[in-house]
Amino acid sequence: MAAENKKVKYKRYFDYSLLFIVLFMLGFGLVMVYSTSSYSASLTFDGDSGYYLKRQFISVFVGLFAMIVTTFIPYQIYSKLKWPAIFGAMGSILLILTPLGFTANGARRWLRFGPLSLQPAEICKFCIIIFTAALLNQMGPKVRSKWKGFWFPMVPTGIVCLMVYILTNDFSSAFVIGIIPLLMIMISEKNNRWPPVILLVIVAVAAVMILLVSKGWIPASLSFRLGRILAWLDPEAYADGKGMQVLQSLYGIGSGGIWGKGLGKSMQKLGFLPEAQNDMIFSIICEELGIVGGLSVMMMFIFLLWRIRDITAHSRDYFGNLLVAGVFTHIAVQVILNICVVTNTVPNTGIPLPLISYGGSSVIFLLAEIGIVMNVGRHAKFVEEEVDEQEDDQTSETD
């Protein structure tokens, strides 16, 4: 009788540990952005060594505001925004063709709104998570486990990926945009066999392409991306070209040793490692803070992902579970790809290290996504005083 009459109460929850690790990583990222960029910034911007730091600080401030907004707006509202989200992603890419689009470092991948610049690819990642979660939530369990549960989200996503690749020539971002919904479906719908099959096909195609290029059966001169495969296989042979960046990255990691040279004492950032504050910042972390520092950063990301995973496990509804799974996938994929590139485990992709690398768009939209995670966490199922309730039930039954 006591078990039948027991009422489980849930308290409103806020994950302060998740908030702490995010704020800590943002602060650490600002320190490392300044450390890696101060020398190059002083040469490029008339002695302004804090140029990149100030721009990153503005982006962090905007991102924190976005995180606060998404934390307290009811996340259920996103379930009605699947079509605005997908068309918003497509529209942001098309804006590249307007006067808002501008070219930097030889690529037209940014939109300028006054002093703020945004990368449409980051907008697309945010929108694709909402679109996929809303569409899958609308489907019934039987539909989600069949081919419609895979291809209905993936076809519009594929169109967005093609637009990103064609209009911005950014294969890396297009790949991440495509892999996010694929893994969301695989995580949330274990009965759907399409995601693992497609993943195996992707791995097989990549392996065959690497084999063909390495044997010379496909000329690497056809595309600079094929040249990256050769540079990945033998970076020393391409030390003056495509292999230079990853080779200098490995030098930085190796020279740092166990404890590192000390904060601010990197040699690679003195013009040897191009754009060190961007996707190669992990190399400078290892050089200045050693293997211990690099492992500590990896542990921070593991803890961040664990907290996000914990919220997924306690989500009240399927839609909230999907949203958090999308954010988990986005962060995990970018962390793995970035560290693999820096250590030459995979060919160079140009993916930033989340929350740490220099890049305003990445920080702003990642913080907005983390706000959604905290929003779902605020409504998660966490038991409050269950033992006391059992005792109360036993007491009332005895009376």
Cα angle for residues 367, 275, 35 (degrees, 5° grid): 70
Residue 368: predicted pLDDT: 96
Residue 294: is its pLDDT beyond 90? yes
Q: Which two tokens stand for residue 196?
A: 């693992």
Give the start-end residues of each E strand in 63-106. Answer: 101-104
Determine the structural domain holding residue 287 and report its residue range.
Answer: 2-398
| Selection from 6-20, 71-85, 114-128, 185-199 with the highest mean pLDDT | 71-85
Mean pLDDT, residues 253-276 taken together = 89
Residue 45: is its pLDDT beyond 60? yes
383 pairs with which residues across the strands? Answer: 10
Residue 229: is its pLDDT beyond 50? yes
Give the start-end residues of each E strand in the chain. Answer: 101-104, 107-113, 116-118
Q: Which two tokens stand for residue 137?
A: 């939530």
Strand ranges across the sheet with 101-104? 101-104, 107-113, 116-118
Residue 116: is its pLDDT beyond 80? no
What is the tally of structural domains in the chain?
A: 1
The strand pair at 101-104 and 107-113 is best described as antiparallel
Task: Supply the pTM of this predicted model.
Answer: 0.90
**Tokens 């996000």 belong to which residue?**
308
Residue 387: predicted pLDDT: 41
Residue 145: predicted pLDDT: 81
Contacts of 173 (CB under 8 A, 6+ apart): 119, 121, 122, 124, 125, 164, 351
Residue 389: is its pLDDT beyond 60? no
